[in-house]
């Protein structure tokens, strides 16, 4: 009976030895392939560069949009201020004479309303040059005044 146990023990020892050798070989293989290959690094770098380029482009577009919105808001406020200033004048004031009047940053036009003889239409146009695109932008606002509301 001892021989059977010895045979089993010997075969078990052989199995353990071959298993240990296999594990050592596997560990060496893992150590050799622990890093990234050059191709993987290049591809990852290209993906990162494309992502960053897309982000920079979107930030640039956002900055242009904010600039345009700020300039439009400023021009609208300026046009509203000019309209309020003109509405505070008497109906027959020289600033409300029919024709085009020049402003430092635009112009305003006063015309007689064809439907109502005692009414003048005023249109204020403000111009500005957009720095990002170098295009001239304009904003216009209109109102009407009547002699009835502007009695002397």
Task: Please give the Cα distance from 143 to 124 (Å, whole number).
Answer: 9
Q: What is the pLDDT of residue 2?
A: 55
In this predicted structure, what is the pLDDT of residue 131?
82
HEC string of the chain equals CHHHHHHHHHHHHHHHHHHHHHHHHHHHHHHHCCCCCHHHHHHHHHHHHHHHHHHHHHHHHHHHHHHHHHHHHHHHHHHHHHHHHHHCCCCCCHHHCCEEEEECCEEEEEEECCCCCCEEEEEEEEEEECCCCCCEEEEEEEEEEECCCCCC
Q: In the prediction, which pLDDT does 18 show?
A: 65
* Token output for 128: 């500005």
- Collect all residues with Cβ–Cβ distance below 8 Å to 137 and sequence separation of at least 6: 68, 71, 72, 75, 127, 128, 129, 130
CA distance linking residue 145 with residue 91, whole number of Å: 8
In this prediction, residue 23 carries a pLDDT of 74
pLDDT at 48: 96
Mean pLDDT per 10-residue section of the chain, whose length is 152 residues: 58 60 72 78 95 94 90 95 93 94 96 92 95 89 84 52
The per-residue pLDDT for 5 is 58
How high is the pLDDT of residue 12?
A: 54
pLDDT at 82: 96
């Amino acid at each position: 009976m001892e021989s059977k146990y010895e045979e089993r023990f010997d075969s078990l020892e052989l199995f353990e030895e071959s298993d240990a050798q296999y594990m050592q070989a596997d560990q060496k293989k893992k150590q050799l392939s622990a890093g990234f290959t050059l191709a993987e690094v290049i591809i990852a770098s290209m993906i990162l560069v494309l992502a960053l380029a897309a982000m920079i482009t979107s930030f640039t577009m956002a900055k242009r949009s904010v600039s345009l919105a700020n300039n439009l808001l400023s021009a609208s406020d300026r046009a509203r201020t000019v309209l309020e200033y003109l509405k505070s004048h008497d109906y027959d004031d020289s600033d409300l004479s029919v024709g085009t009047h020049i402003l430092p940053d635009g112009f305003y036009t006063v015309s007689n309303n064809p439907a109502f003889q005692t009414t003048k239409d005023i249109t204020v146009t403000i111009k500005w040059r957009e720095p990002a695109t170098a295009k001239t932008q304009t904003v216009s606002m209109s109102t009407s005044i009547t002699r009835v509301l502007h009695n002397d």
